[in-house]
Structure 1
């Protein structure tokens, strides 16, 4: 009998949200360990759940330390360049290693390849069964003879350098997903978060060209309500506070949604759990509005994307504007909808984008604007030559220009958003809330005191600022947030009537999953707002350099805040003066 295999799975979770742990890798681990043959063989599966901000130099040594026979890497836009470099390094150190790259962005590997190094396989689509097939065939010594039967993947095995991988037929979606075990119920997941992913279905009945579902089987597969109930009970037993619903369209089936809400009311009558969900306006009616009013729904996101009719054909979706507005009106009595827009869809122009902003200004909603990023395995990605998409593959596949607008036009769209009052909360992400100013949940007095002590611990005057910058002041919004103001001396002016000098406002508020932010420490969010005087004809590359220039300062503040929190808590444990009631 062959010796047990060592299998290492590595991913790099985003830091933009509190709940970004390696959910996909845990699902693969759970499915593998549910198979009788894997358990009998004694195969060991280890997860390396890294953060995208963790030291990249450690990735290689951590993987090598597992002495793995098979390595699986999870690829998203934010870590795909890092995955490509890790594959190259692994090939140099252990050429015989079986390497599998999966995840939503695996198909973009070729765009970033740094040399002739390639993984053995790119898994495209759901990975549990395909990865398990690879493991079982590899263990049996029959992998190469059965590649066409493994599932939805691209294979580099036996392919000469420079040649494209061989493509193998995707697996179809089953009607029920209950054959996939829950990593929570198997006791595999331990996360330092109060937010939990709960997956209720996979797939989407629509095929919007910017979405990964546009090239997937056009079918929705579901987990049973019994499975969903078991995971909610698991979350409640462990004092989780928030559930991120993993469903492309949470309100697709009104009868199912009613059953789900009745389940939540039975399990959690005190509404200790809150929820975030993506919804589709087409399904909203009075019955759905009444149902949603019964759920502690903290975030209800509706994708509008654009009202420019020139984008509809390529996106493969038409928006009926009057109906959309009526449905948002129907919901405003029970929740505050959040509408998402995409800046720079093919077919759009500065004038078309301005028209979209004019339309959403008539709605009583919060608005998020996202820069168009061309996701691998989407229709736009497959047809990028048709739409003349100029893509910055090294920077999250962000769009630079299309057949309908230039890079200068895109910079104009950004300027239009800023002029309309949208605040850049992350590179490529803008927000405008109906509430005036910066809004954050109120803190209790104890948490407010803890924030005050932590900020005092940092020593803001001692931060390593860019050469021309200085720390200006702290503005306290009692029990809501602290505003740190940084100014650029090069553009300062004391003359009467002068414009506000260039700089950055940094907002520190209680850690909250649904508030826009750059990053977070253990207890608090860190967000920012620019206040810049800039040339009206500033091009896209100059704007990108300026925004990226803020990142080191913001990362430094977040790291300093996290260290200060630990220091305050350490003093509290030791009984230090002034810290006895400091922690949340």
Structure 2
């Protein structure tokens, strides 16, 4: 193949939507172009060997926060062993502040922003001449109707074994400063009938798991209703052939018409990802996040109590102006709403995001290496921030794992944040580890903690056993893992 489109995904289950968009829009060069995906953690030499085995003239890499360090090593090796191969970069991680990045210095060309038009045109000039003199090419944003849909490029293997990412729109009208979507002017929808036709074709080929990457799925309610009706029709036609759909919802925008439709879905068919990020109005104002907290809370409560949707709700620790006490209040408020999962995220400074404007005023110190996690602020010192990082990890192991459904309620009591922080500090003191804790050891530690808090040994063992045995016997199929285009938490 003359041109290879490549990236390092966070997990094998992820199938890169960006690469498939590029391939779909290669025009006359499509027959000479192929996709070759890898997974982070693979050996650099093996990646380079497999890429060069196809004898490409151009390799385009999709660069994201999770793969930039490993892809830098791949590009460095390629330029040493095959300097004649032209390397083109694109993706959110290299679209901003590119001048200081080692991977950009190593590469031949860079496409910033939208690549659907600019990348194919650049490849044509590289291969057919005259070669472009400029290294950096700003991506041209075409009319949405001119972008060819990529979904036919999902292979049968992708459909059978991987998460299928789809989007009914691009962009976001909101300006939350920790997110790259803050740079968008608005949200741009694809033609709905065309998009639904693509979903129909995927479903006919056997696709049953769809993850929407739209930042604002419920921004246009008429569109949301038509898309959800598509899935309801499939479920009604074949109730024994379930379909699973994942959407990201704006938390304070859930009108009755959308509620009525959501309520029709059976268990196991819907997952909603809802970004609360902070319940503190002053912090929300600082990061330009407009959110009606009362409506957001009411909507989460309704979804938990009146629908069968699985709720994954996000909070971010380390935002400017938020101290531990404020974050704890928000966390406790969210726990009281009883979503199925609370994603406890730590703020990251994504390249290009406006959050950097608060650096000096709020003493914000970020790790200089990906994923650029916040290390300290003027209200949360370094040691405390590390305690929050450990809290987030143990929260995933115990609360979000679904293995301690009964036990977690007892552990949290009437002061969820304080009680779980105490557990987090205790278990770290016992293990000096946040990863690679086997389930049987974790269960034993949880039972021991319950005894520390005053429960009898027998009662603690029985409580933990009431969770572990049924959970392992009837462990549900895993929901799709997240690999959000613009990772924010």
Tell me the TM-score normalized by structure 1.
0.65
Match of 1:334 in 2: 307
The answer to whether the Cα contact below 8 Å between 2:2 and 2:57 also exists between their aligned partners in 1 is yes
Matches of residues 38-437 of structure 1 in structure 2 within 5 Å?
38=29, 44-106=32-94, 107=96, 113=102, 117-144=105-132, 147=134, 155=135, 169-172=138-141, 174=143, 177-185=144-152, 190-191=157-158, 192-193=160-161, 195-216=163-184, 218-269=185-236, 270-271=238-239, 272-295=242-265, 297-331=269-303, 332-335=305-308, 336-366=310-340, 367-380=342-355, 388-414=363-389, 423-425=395-397, 435-437=405-407
478, 483, 488: which one aligns with 1:512? 478
**Structure 1 residues 137 and 320, CA gap change in structure 2 (3 angstroms):** same
Matches of residues 456-495 of structure 1 in structure 2 within 5 Å?
483-485=439-441
- Bigger Cα Rg: 1
Note the alpha carbon deviations across 1:41-62, whole angstroms, 9 max, x for none.
xx51122111113233311222
More strand by share: 1
The alignment partner of 2:380 has SS state of: coil
For 2:217 and 2:22, how far apart are their aligned partners in 1?
24
Question: What is the CA RMSD across the aligned residues, in angstroms?
Answer: 3.8
Runs of 4+ with deviation above 6 angstroms: 415-418, 429-434, 486-489, 496-500, 505-508
For 1:318 and 1:350, how far apart are their aligned partners in 2?
22
For 1:515 and 1:30, how far apart are their aligned partners in 2?
25
The alignment partner of 2:440 has SS state of: strand
Tell me the TM-score normalized by structure 2.
0.76
Deviation at 1:203, TM superposition (A): 0.7
For 1:14 and 1:497, how far apart are their aligned partners in 2?
38
The alignment partner of 1:144 has SS state of: coil
The answer to whether the Cα contact below 8 Å between 1:354 and 1:413 also exists between their aligned partners in 2 is no
The yes-or-no answer on 1:11 pairing with 2:2 is: no
Match of 1:31 in 2: 25
For 1:431 and 1:312, how far apart are their aligned partners in 2?
29
Note the alpha carbon deviations across 1:287-339, whole angstroms, 9 max, x for none.
22112223454211211001233422332114332222222233330135332
For 1:70 and 1:515, how far apart are their aligned partners in 2?
31
**Aligned residue pair count:** 430
- For structure 2, list consecutive stretches of 5 or more residues without a partner in the other structure: 410-430, 458-467, 483-489
- Higher-RCO chain (CA-CA 8 Å, sequence separation at least 6): 2
For 1:241 and 1:109, how far apart are their aligned partners in 2?
39
Note the alpha carbon deviations across 1:212-246, whole angstroms, 9 max, x for none.
11123x12222222222222222322322211112
**Structure 1 residues 389 and 172, CA gap change in structure 2 (3 angstroms):** farther
The answer to whether the Cα contact below 8 Å between 1:80 and 1:109 also exists between their aligned partners in 2 is no
- For structure 1, list consecutive stretches of 5 or more residues without a partner in the other structure: 148-154, 157-167, 440-466, 475-482, 517-584
**Structure 1 residues 369 and 186, CA gap change in structure 2 (3 angstroms):** closer
More helix by share: 2
Deviation at 1:84, TM superposition (A): 1.3
For 1:50 and 1:137, how far apart are their aligned partners in 2?
27
For 2:442 and 2:307, how far apart are their aligned partners in 1?
39
For 1:468 and 1:171, how far apart are their aligned partners in 2?
50
More divergent stretch after superposition (407-416 vs 505-514): 505-514
The answer to whether the Cα contact below 8 Å between 1:299 and 1:514 also exists between their aligned partners in 2 is no
**Structure 1 residues 513 and 416, CA gap change in structure 2 (3 angstroms):** closer
